[in-house]
Amino acid sequence: MYEKLNMLEEAQNLYQELLSRFFEALNVPGKVDESERGEVLRKDLRILIKSLEINKDIESGKRKLLQHLLLAQEEILSKSPELKEFFENRKKKLSMVKDINRDPNDDFKTFVSEENIKFDEQGYMILDLEKNSSAWEPFKEEFFTARDLYTAYCLSSKDIAAALSCKITSVEWMVMADMPPGQILLSQANLGSLFYLQAEKLEADLNQLEQKKSKESNQELDMGTYIKAVRFVRKNRDLCLERAQKCYDSVIAFAKRNRKIRFHVKDQLDPSIAQSIALSTYGMGVLSLHEGVLAKAEKLFKDSITMAKETEFNELLAEAEKELEKTTVLKAAKKEGLN
């Protein structure tokens, strides 16, 4: 009611009061009956999401999200041996990493595969009913929406590394939680975009290192440290570009191998499937443009524009048209230079 009256401060105060009460009740042993905890957590996350729609303080929003997400995660872990094992294996992997320059996720794998996404007899993607996802119920939709919000808040505060880490875990958990296949595909495509953003940041770091070298004399600059820093940043940039391509490739290849999902695109039964293919096609175009392969980039941007129009994916449409225009200008300049 407060929101409808545009009394946003009053609405936010009410949301915070409710969130405090839910959080306190869920943290006091025995205060909420075991059979009702899932439903109370669902309400808690719904109010949290609603409050963040009118929140203007990014850091405050991140803290609240983290606080309530950790509470939900503890609940899931207490009910899911599969996830407990996942966390234990990840801790072991991190403890085995001795070289600080080595990425603990060097064995990065994409999650879009026939092993993780099931089909019915007609070839339509379906939920894997054999997978036990009861630990995530009844709040799994709200849980992943809140995690997506946390990723968005990290991006808003320019913390791309945190956004990337959150998204990698989210996609893996979505598979474990048996989320709708279209959402898994779209999250995988979005993960590719985050890897590319991180690669862009590392590219900027490389430029800064080069500028520092050009400004300082050889006496002032420790060349050994400089060379190590450049190699480290360059390696991580290349790794991010490689992983972005893996993410996009996995979605596009999956769509090609399972052509019947095109029926879903046509019928608009799940727009996220079509959007994931459009976003991945656009992403491959961006990577091709980055590599200077202009003809390939142009084709991919045109394909993504067509798909974005079909699904009314307007945000992507605007970006793809902008990148296509940039590619056309570069092609013309290149042609003129050859003449």
Condensed to tens digits (0 to 9), the pLDDT of residues 169-214 reads: 999 888 888 888 889 999 999 999 999 999 999 999 999 888 877 7
**Which distant-in-sequence residues (6+ apart) come within 8 Å of 87 by Cβ?**
77
pLDDT tens, residue by residue, 37-76? 999 999 999 999 999 988 888 898 899 999 999 999 989 9
pLDDT band of residue 335 (cuts 50, 70, 90) is confident
pLDDT at position 339 over 70: no
Asked if 248 and 280 count as a contact pair (C-beta separation under 8 A), the reply is yes
CB-based burial label for 234 (10 Å; 0-12, 13-18, 19+):
middle
Whole-number average pLDDT of the chain? 84
More confident residue, 150 or 136: 150
* Residue 70 Cα distances to 55, 74, 119, 142, 150, angstroms: 20, 6, 33, 13, 12
Phi and psi at residue 134, in whole multiples of 5°? -65, -30
Over residues 320-326, mean pLDDT: 97
pLDDT one-digit tens code per residue, 152-172: 999 999 999 999 999 999 998
pLDDT of 135 reads: 84
pLDDT band at 121 (very low <50, low <70, confident <90, very high): low
Whether 1 shows a pLDDT value over 80: the answer reads no
User: Angle CA(252)–CA(187)–CA(326) in degrees, nearest 5?
Assistant: 65
